[in-house]
Chain A
Amino acid sequence: MLCEKCMKRQAVVHMQQIINGQVTEMHLCTECASQSDSPLSFEQFLQGLLDVFGGVPENLSSQKPAAKFRCPVCGLSYENFKRTGRVGCAECYQTFRREMDPILKNIQGGNRHEGKFPHKAGNGMLSRRKIDKLKLELSKAVEEEEYENAARLRDQIRELEANLS
């Protein structure tokens, strides 16, 4: 397949864009895809998502100007994160949490980690996982009107949550 833009080189970057249910496909070569006006660079893709899903709400940015959107630990600005798609430190995930959360949900399978965790994060992580699982069981029990079972699950959850805090 030839690149749609230059019509010379082989298309190697294939992108599907879905906007309001309208599917558009693009097939480009590496050169054309890496050109700055192409909508395909990762940074621009992420920037687009930040604008659509997160962004800086205007009323909020007028109340608390840019300062709020700078990481207090590493000093990276929200603008910088938006431009490069890279965070500056672990704390940035907290600083930009509100903006990042919906994006992660959108581009990833979910916004909650299900995999391995450091042993040092230990029991807390295990309890959290267990609580999540029990909550699912609880809503199922309520749905199926198994109230005795639901009460038992509720108590278990409370106990675990109390231990966590």
Chain B
Amino acid sequence: MKVWYTDEIVDATPVISSRVRLARNIKKYPFLVVISPEQSKLLVEEVETALGSHFTPISLAGKNDIEKRGMLERHIVSPEFLKINKPKGLMLQSDERICVMVNEEDHIRIQTISPGDGIDTAWDTANKVDDLLEESIQYAFDKDYGYLTSCPTNAGTGLRASFMVHLPMTERTGNIRGLLPAVSKFGMTLRGIYGEGTEPLGHIYQVSNQVTLGKSEEDIVNGLKTITSQIIDNENKLREKAMSSIRLEMEDQFFRAYGTLTHARKLSGKEAMELLSAVRLGYLTQTLNVPKPGKTLYEIMMSIQPGSLQSAAGRELDENERDVFRASYLRGMFKK
């Protein structure tokens, strides 16, 4: 399959992608806070063997900080994973839809991503990888607490299911403020693009479950779907309303954003994300009738983050250089 973010479906609706993470630990090894470097090595080997030829192990040792940051920006690894300085492993499939982190906060973190509204596929895939691992690994499991995790807040299913959603109208109208308390009542949470504690860039948010114990995986996924579909319905209504009441102003914004992206000489990450968000909305409403860039907008959004940008430049860039390089990259993207 093609790499998830190159699928045009990521730009087709407010739902960019669907993600599932399963946290698992192996019974015989101590958890992260206690595990020794020697045990960590054995752990990595054991998981690599269990996954066999289905995955390619990626060596982190050969990667510099820029490349690692790029992997973070492409949602391959978590910020926590990069911080851990014990032997760790990373297994990835070439379409970047499945990745397994070994010795993250938990021994095993299975992560699956599907473009657009593909949460069922993501869950199904993660479930299969879990079954494959279980064939040769004995998980830490308790009949009451389910899969045991390093942090008790993940125990039970060890499942975090999430949708990445683009909510420009919900944010602009201030509706977003009421959303967080509302979703938290249902055991869900809303956060920025790169997870916990990150700022929402380009009006992109992650909706995910918080509760992992006392509910089945299916119930968690279905609950998330229900909540997200309401968030999306609301976003769609706000957009339709704006497109009928202030159409000209909306169009003006889309074309101005496009104009800036195609001509600016310096763009900060924040500004570029705002402009790309406006252009995404312009295409979505079919009012921005200019040719689409050669890549999906979400791929472009990831490509202009500091790590990916410096990887593309092939060297370290200071903030000023990055803004110049970013503007030039974006001009190239939209002129093709």
Residues of A with Cβ closer than 8 Å to B?
A: 1, 10, 12-14, 16, 25, 30, 33-34, 42, 46, 73-76, 80, 84-90, 92-93, 100, 103-104, 107-121, 124-125, 128
Residues of B within 8 A of A128 (CB): 143
Interface residue? B298 (CB, 8 A):
no
Within 8 A of A (CB), among B227-259: none
Within 8 A of A (CB), among B114-135: 127, 130-131, 134
Size bracket of the B interface: 35 or more
Shortest CB-to-CB span from A68 to chain B, Å, is 19
- Count chain A CB atoms within 10 A of each CB in B32, B141, B181, B213 and give the residue with the most: B213
Q: Please measure, in the bound complex, the distance between the C-alpha atom of A36 and the C-alpha atom of B263, giving whole angstroms.
A: 44
A86-B33, A88-B30, A113-B213 known; A12+B156 contact, CB < 8 A: no
CB < 8 Å: which of B142, B153, B184 contacts A93?
B142
Residues of B within 8 A of A103 (CB): 152
- Count chain B CB atoms within 10 A of each CB in A86, A89, A100, A116 and give the residue with the most: A116
**Contact B145–A104 (Cβ < 8 Å):** yes
Q: Please measure, in the bound complex, the distance between the C-alpha atom of A113 and the C-alpha atom of B141, giving whole angstroms.
A: 10
**Contact B151–A85 (Cβ < 8 Å):** yes
CB < 8 Å: which of A12, A90, A120, A125 contacts B199?
A12
A90-B148, A120-B138 known; A76+B34 contact, CB < 8 A: yes
**Contact A119–B150 (Cβ < 8 Å):** no
CB < 8 Å: which of B31, B187, B211 contacts A88?
B31
CB < 8 Å: which of A12, A86, A125 contacts B197?
A12
Residues of A within 8 A of B31 (CB): 74, 86-90, 92
A87-B31, A108-B212, A124-B143 known; A113+B199 contact, CB < 8 A: no
**Contact B157–A116 (Cβ < 8 Å):** yes
Q: Please measure, in the bound complex, the distance between the C-alpha atom of A116 and the C-alpha atom of B157, giving whole angstroms.
A: 7
Q: Please measure, in the bound complex, the distance between the C-alpha atom of A125 and the C-alpha atom of B211, giving whole angstroms.
A: 21
Residues of A within 8 A of B213 (CB): 104, 108-113
Shortest CB-to-CB span from A117 to chain B, Å, is 7
15 CB contacts below 8 A, A to B, read A12-B200, A74-B34, A75-B34, A84-B33, A87-B33, A87-B150, A88-B30, A93-B145, A104-B152, A109-B187, A109-B213, A113-B214, A114-B156, A114-B219, A115-B156
**Contact B145–A115 (Cβ < 8 Å):** no
Residues of B within 8 A of A121 (CB): 141, 143
Closest to B212 in A: A108
Q: Please measure, in the bound complex, the distance between the C-alpha atom of A112 and the C-alpha atom of B156, giving whole angstroms.
A: 8
Residues of A within 8 A of B138 (CB): 118, 120
Q: Please measure, in the bound complex, the distance between the C-alpha atom of A101 and the C-alpha atom of B211, giving whole angstroms.
A: 15
**Contact B212–A30 (Cβ < 8 Å):** no
Residues of B within 8 A of A16 (CB): 181, 184
Task: Provide the B174-186 mask, 1 if CB < 8 A to any CB of A, else 0.
Answer: 0001001100100
- Count chain A CB atoms within 10 A of each CB in B130, B140, B197 and give the residue with the most: B197
Closest to B144 in A: A112
Residues of A within 8 A of B180 (CB): 14
Residues of B with Cβ closer than 8 Å to A?
A: 25, 27, 29-34, 105, 127, 130-131, 134, 138-148, 150-153, 155-157, 159, 177, 180-181, 184, 187, 192, 197-200, 211-217, 219-220
Closest to B209 in A: A109
Q: Please measure, in the bound complex, the distance between the C-alpha atom of A90 and the C-alpha atom of B30, giving whole angstroms.
A: 7
Shortest CB-to-CB span from B91 to chain A, Å, is 20
A12-B200, A109-B214, A120-B134 known; A115+B159 contact, CB < 8 A: yes
**Contact A88–B142 (Cβ < 8 Å):** no
**Contact A30–B148 (Cβ < 8 Å):** no
Residues of A within 8 A of B148 (CB): 87, 90, 93
Question: Closest 9 CB pairs between A and B?
Answer: A110-B214, A113-B146, A109-B214, A90-B140, A108-B213, A88-B34, A115-B157, A109-B211, A89-B30
**Contact B152–A118 (Cβ < 8 Å):** no
CB < 8 Å: which of A80, A92, A111, A118 contacts B134?
A118
Shortest CB-to-CB span from B104 to chain A, Å, is 12
**Contact A90–B25 (Cβ < 8 Å):** yes
Residues of B within 8 A of A119 (CB): 131, 134
Q: Please measure, in the bound complex, the distance between the C-alpha atom of A108 and the C-alpha atom of B210, giving whole angstroms.
A: 8
Shortest CB-to-CB span from A93 to chain B, Å, is 5
Q: Please measure, in the bound complex, the distance between the C-alpha atom of A10 and the C-alpha atom of B274, giving whole angstroms.
A: 15
Q: Please measure, in the bound complex, the distance between the C-alpha atom of A124 and the C-alpha atom of B220, giving whole angstroms.
A: 24
Q: Please measure, in the bound complex, the distance between the C-alpha atom of A73 and the C-alpha atom of B140, giving whole angstroms.
A: 14
